[in-house]
Structure 1
């Protein structure tokens, strides 16, 4: 089936967001996220550019909003351990199913897992050096996105940064993801939501122009290959 990718499919819904989603398929999806994120959205550059330089100045606090299965947090924790650097990493998700699975598959990384909304951490007065998300923005309505950005600003200290990383919608991204996941649908991704939800995610995602048009003052949008977007607010851009 072909889809019109000229506009964002904001009404499309991912299967894993259904509260009644098959739990076995959902947990298999969390497990397979490790492979997908390592291939298309690993935190390598983010770690080298934003996390490691700050951690070298002393222990830092990192918050991942909408952490899902927590694999990106665990990748970051492993890099910090390799570099003998110290950080408190919190994986936050509003879905209890995700947090329960992530905590049960931590593997000794030391990541903290919490089921809550970002606004709850704001109310508690929590502060972090780095707040980030991975593949979260496309799940949100425009109003929810604006609330996330406001919460993110409030959760970082004056010298902190916010980095929200997501997919960039394009026909090329859709075609490539469709082809690769079709080849693996009977093996690696069998019994998961990876293929179908991934295609829906691309349809729901923003282009750089769309995201820049709704981003508040002080936020910048960066595009990177392969079809990646980064919405960020750096230290010193005001509150």
Structure 2
């Protein structure tokens, strides 16, 4: 146990990432992600403190979620903005057709749309968004893919980038193993969640590899927030 989780296990492959995984279990996993994200990912706090100050009353603020999966984060943020009287044009992008099909099957607020696309494809189109986010994506990427996504994010964002990911620790692994097993049956939530923690970074590891201009910040006890503000963008 002394050495367990001391190093990142980036070579692990999660079941949901396999092209031949069971579709019914995959869709159940997407359907249960809102519970995980509501309890742990702290997007409500990040909306209040970082995204809401950028919203304008008369014009729509644009937001891109890279690797949106089932799309629950963009739907949640759009609902929060609408309740506050703001217009948030939120786009969830994911290259996986299974994620895209699930996301488009969910009821969403006006202004939410989904793209089956990589961040590099959106850059090639000349896409620009006021805010760029991702949730639990970074640990899935190879070092080259991570560098590419950060570079794409810099080119896509006008004002703010927030990449939220798991923070690797033994206590996080043990608590998730015990507390979230009820969400496991019939889905990949439990097994893949534990694998995700083993694949995730510590703050020190991320600080060693991110480009200049990126900040590694704490996002509660279980998450890391990678923050970038383009030169000249207003702070939130």
Deviation digits for residues 185-212 of structure 1 (CA, Å, limit 9, x no counterpart): xxx4320000000000000000000001
User: Are the equivalent residues in 2 in contact too, given 1:74–1:109 (CA < 8 A)?
Assistant: no
Give the C-alpha shift of residue 108 in structure 1.
4.3
Q: Do the aligned partners of residues 49 and 42 (structure 1) sit closer, same or farther apart at CA in structure 2, a change above 3 Å counting?
A: same
The TM-score, its normalising length taken from structure 1, stands at 0.93
Whether 1:16 aligns to 2:16 is yes
TM-score, length of structure 2 as denominator length: 0.94
Match of 1:169 in 2: 168
- One of 190, 194, 202 as aligned partner of 2:189: 194
Q: Which residue of 1 aligns with 2:114?
A: 113
How far residue 70 of structure 1 moved from its aligned partner, in angstroms, is 0.4
Indicate the RMSD between aligned Cα atoms, in angstroms. 1.7
Describe the SS at the equivalent of 2:114.
strand
**3-state SS of paired residue (1:56):** coil
Where does the alignment leave 5 or more consecutive residues of structure 2 unmatched? none
Moved more, 71-80 or 1-10: 1-10
Q: Name whichever of 36-45 and 134-143 sits farther off.
A: 36-45
- Alpha-carbon offset, residue 75 of structure 1: 0.6
Q: Does the 8 Å CA contact 2:134/2:163 hold for their aligned counterparts?
A: yes
Offset at residue 224 of structure 1 (A): 2.9
**What residue is the counterpart of 1:46 in the other structure?**
46
Report the counterpart of residue 37 of structure 1 in structure 2. Answer: 37
Write the distance in 1 (CA, Å) between the matches of 2:108 and 2:118: 25
Aligned residues: 232
Q: CA deviation at 1:134?
A: 0.3
Q: Please state how far the C-alpha of 1:49 moved relative to its aligned partner.
A: 1.8
Residue number in structure 2 paired with 1:93? 94
Q: 1:206 aligns with which of 181, 201, 208?
A: 201
Counterparts of 2:108 and 2:185 in 1: how far apart (Å)? 24
Measured in 1, the distance between the counterparts of 2:36 and 2:81 equals 21
2-structure distance, mates of 1:3, 1:28: 33
How far 1:48 sits from its partner (Å)?
A: 1.0
1:2 is displaced (CA, Å) by: 9.9
Q: Secondary structure at the match of 2:121?
A: helix
Alignment of 1:231 onto 2:226: yes
| 8 A contact 1:78–1:109 mirrored in 2 | no
